[in-house]
Amino acid sequence: GAVVSQHPSWVICKSGTSVKIECRSLDFQATTMFWYRQFPKQSLMLMATSNEGSKATYEQGVEKDKFLINHASLTLSTLTVTSAHPEDSSFYICSARDQLGQGDDTGELFFGEGSRLTVL
Amino acid sequence: KQEVTQIPAALSVPEGENLVLNCSFTDSAIYNLQWFRQDPGKGLTSLLLIQSSQREQTSGRLNASLDKSSGRSTLYIAASQPGDSATYLCALANQAGTALIFGKGTTLSVSS
């Protein structure tokens, strides 16, 4: 299957600092990537949809000024948690769809390994 | 609004048992449904993908079925092994190109 890589896999930062998480599709192009957040023992909650070359679409309740998303190329989307606070500590996972071409898209989403953020 | 429910939330079985994990959804107009496995602290591993036009998919000891009319999917695991211990997530897409909506998962523990 297609490979999605996330970096870093874990990060610890001080309260008030900003952290950038990268999501790369290694062997395919993705015009759309999705960012999810997962709190302990909870399921994945969609935060935003990242579209290459345009602004991200955020889910209700997600602060777009706090969670900055940039999708500058067909293989890279970044999530920046600005002025992080302890309540932002979570597991962040990105996903992308391997677009084989119109009419040939199975719609299967591939996920990165996730990035665990701990804010002290 | 689409909602995905998984029962049971947790399941413990001895090695060798066949088991069924359940997933239900409220809106039957789905595009596809995926089953994932998640190990503690790790990302997701895709297990099976079922298109809306399909009834089931099989991979090794895993079989996933889909009944759109009743809003249900099941994941059948045959001859369970301790290595199967993980959280299993059911997720679906309402339309092509849209994000997946996840259930809360079933945490499976298989004892040797």
Q: Report the run of H or E that residue B87 belongs to, with start and end.
A: strand B86-93
Closest chain A residue to the Cα of B107, Cα to Cα:
A41
* Cross-chain Cβ contact B46/A97 below 8 Å: no
Average pLDDT, whole number, for chain A?
90
* Coil, strand or helix at A88: helix
Between CA B42 and CA B110 the distance in angstroms is 19
* Cross-chain Cβ contact A113/B31 below 8 Å: no
Q: Are B59 and B48 in contact (CB under 8 A)?
A: yes
* Cross-chain Cβ contact B46/A43 below 8 Å: no
Closest CA to B21 of B105, B85, B111, B102: B105
Of A95-104, B9-18, B97-106, where does the model show the most confidence? B9-18
Q: Which residues touch B94 (CB under 8 Å, ≥6 apart)?
A: B2, B27, B29, B30, B31, B101
Residue A103's pLDDT band (boundaries 50, 70, 90)? Answer: very low
pLDDT digits (tens, 9 = 90+) for A4-43: 999 999 999 999 999 999 999 998 888 889 999 999 888 8
pLDDT digits (tens, 9 = 90+) for A61-86: 999 999 999 998 889 999 999 999 99
Single-letter amino acid, residue A27: D
Residue B61: what are its φ and ψ, rounded to 5°?
-85, 0
Between CA A26 and CA A40 the distance in angstroms is 28
Nearest by CB to A108, which of B42, B49, B99?
Answer: B49
Q: Are A8 and A116 in contact (CB under 8 A)?
A: no
Assess B86–A contact: CB distance below 8 Å, yes or no.
Answer: no
Single-letter amino acid, residue A26: L
* Cross-chain Cβ contact A34/B99 below 8 Å: yes
pLDDT of residue B77: 98
Residue A87: what are its φ and ψ, rounded to 5°?
-70, -10
pLDDT digits (tens, 9 = 90+) for B58-90: 999 999 999 999 999 999 999 999 999 999 999
Single-letter amino acid, residue A87: E
Q: Are A32 and A96 in contact (CB under 8 A)?
A: yes
Assess A62–B contact: CB distance below 8 Å, yes or no.
Answer: no
Collect all residues of chain B within an 8 Å Cβ-Cβ radius of residue A116.
41
Taking only residues 33 to 72 of chain B, the set having a beta carbon closer than 8 angstroms to any beta carbon of chain A reads 34, 36, 41-44, 46, 49, 51
The size of the A-B interface in CB pairs under 8 A is 62
